[in-house]
Copies of this chain bind each other. A is one copy, B any other.
């Protein structure tokens, strides 16, 4: 029996039907001219959702976490000072990944649920090589002010995790001074997990590590196959084989992006905002308390405190078993005390809001 789940957790979300259909389309070879066209168009559409004109904008052939690794492994020279704003699990992970690349990590710790304190981060070190932050913390449902970090970064490179923000809230990589960014496909882009949309500007690329520890994620080598060539000569240039691209996943991302840009990026953002606002109001009407700091709440991913005396896991299990409805546990120290409810991509819809509120009300015996 095939289970049909409502994926209202922190991701993956249910893909757009267009993206699912593309996954099952006849497979193309990774050097087929038809596939190269799809790849070029995908890179171009990614530029739009990133808000960038970076030539090197491409889907890496692995999930969002590999995007984080690619970001650091290509830009951290041994001994580089990397200031990391830590206000949740993914900021924490950045410190681990950066340290493995040989960085001298300066972690600026925040209380979870709070946005990044821009002044503290910018003053943490006089001359960092890189300042890194998470735009939308998936672990806490908090948005941070990346634009302000960009305005104050000085000579440092700004490295941003946009896994949960891309195509869900405003993201303007070039205007905000993002030098290196990575994302995932399985959240607001409405595509299955498996690719990491990535962008890197010229300034960061020029400072890159010539021969990074990772062969698979070496941007210097990847440029011969996608992105770079696609921009410079309209895709007519020679493509160099690097690795076999996951062609079905790229075709699916292409379909998801096409769907999003047909609807219009502003309209998609507005849809996420409307769903998030309605959900957050509805949860409070049920007497529940939100976790993320007011004013910094993500519309696409809502965190809510588990009421006193309620067994968090039992509620999630009942939602799954009775209604095929998945919500997420909290992350790290909040595993048992917070729920994470994502209405992302296809699921940023009024009917999804109604359903999750009704299901929670039923299971919690409220109202």
Residue pair A25, B9 in contact (C-beta under 8 Å): no
Residues A7 and B29 in contact, CB atoms below 8 Å apart? yes
Whether B23 contacts A5 by the Cβ 8 Å rule is: no
Asked whether A244 lies within 8 Å of B12 as measured between CB atoms, the reply is yes
Q: Is the pair B7, A25 in contact by a Cβ cutoff of 8 Å?
A: no
Contact residues in B for A245 (Cβ distance below 8 Å) = 63, 193
Check A216–B66 contact: CB distance below 8 A.
Answer: yes
8 Å CB contact of A27 from B7, B34, B97, B242:
B7
Interface pick from A206-214, A289-297, A359-367: A206-214
Give the docked Cα–Cα distance between A214 and B218 (Å): 13
Say whether A278 faces chain B, with CB atoms less than 8 Å apart. no
Asked if A355 is at the interface of the complex by the 8 Å CB criterion, the answer is no
Least CB distance, A22 to chain B, in whole angstroms:
9
Residues of chain B lying within 8 A (CB to CB) of residue A32: 3, 5, 320, 326
Q: Which residues of B contact A62 (CB under 8 A)?
A: 61-63, 66, 216
Contact between B25 and A192 (Cβ–Cβ < 8 Å)? no
Residue of B nearest to A317 (CB): B33
A14→B2 contact, CB < 8 A: no
Across the two chains, which residue of chain B brings its CB closest to A89?
Answer: B241
A187 to chain B, nearest CB (A): 9
A331–B31 Cα gap in the complex (Å)? 13
Interface presence of A350 (CB below 8 A): no
Complex Cα–Cα for A4 and B32 (A): 11
Interface residues of A in 1-39 (CB under 8 A from B): 2-5, 7, 9, 11-12, 14-15, 20-21, 23-34
Closest to A8 in B: B29
A194 engages B243 (CB within 8 Å):
no
**A197 in the interface, Cβ–Cβ < 8 Å?**
no
One complex includes copies of this chain to the number of 2
Closest residue to A15 on the B side, CB-wise?
Answer: B27
A69 contact from B26, B214, B320, Cβ within 8 A: B214
Q: Cβ of A323 < 8 Å from any Cβ of B?
A: no
A192 touches B20 (CB 8 A): no
Evaluate contact between A248 and B5: CB separation under 8 angstroms: no
Q: By the criterion CB–CB under 8 Å, are A63 and B26 in contact? A: no
The answer to whether residues A192 and B246 also contact, given A12-B29, A23-B23, A214-B100 and a CB cut-off of 8 A, is: yes
Return the chain B residue nearest A20 by Cβ. B24
8 A Cβ contacts from A174-196 to B: 184, 186, 192-194
- Tell me, in angstroms, the Cα distance from A54 to B7 when the chains sit together: 33
Q: Cβ of A149: which chain B residues have Cβ within 8 Å of it? A: none
> Beta-carbon contacts of A28-71 to B below 8 Å, as 1s and 0s?
11111110000000000000000000000000011111101100
User: Is the pair A215, B97 in contact by a Cβ cutoff of 8 Å?
Assistant: yes
Residues of B near A193 (CB, < 8 A) are 30, 244-248
Chain B nearest Cβ from A343, distance in angstroms = 14
Q: How far is the CA of A173 from the CA of B93 in the complex (A)?
A: 34
Q: Is the CB of B69 within 8 A of A216?
A: yes
Please list 19 pairs of residues, one from A and one from B, whose beta carbons are closer than 8 Å in the complex, sorted by A's number: A3-B32, A4-B26, A5-B27, A5-B32, A14-B26, A14-B27, A61-B66, A62-B216, A63-B246, A69-B215, A69-B216, A73-B214, A186-B244, A192-B247, A193-B244, A193-B245, A213-B214, A241-B331, A246-B249
Inter-chain pairs besides A3-B28, A194-B246, 13 sampled, C-beta below 8 Å: A2-B25, A3-B26, A5-B26, A5-B27, A9-B31, A14-B27, A23-B24, A61-B63, A61-B66, A64-B243, A73-B213, A192-B248, A193-B244
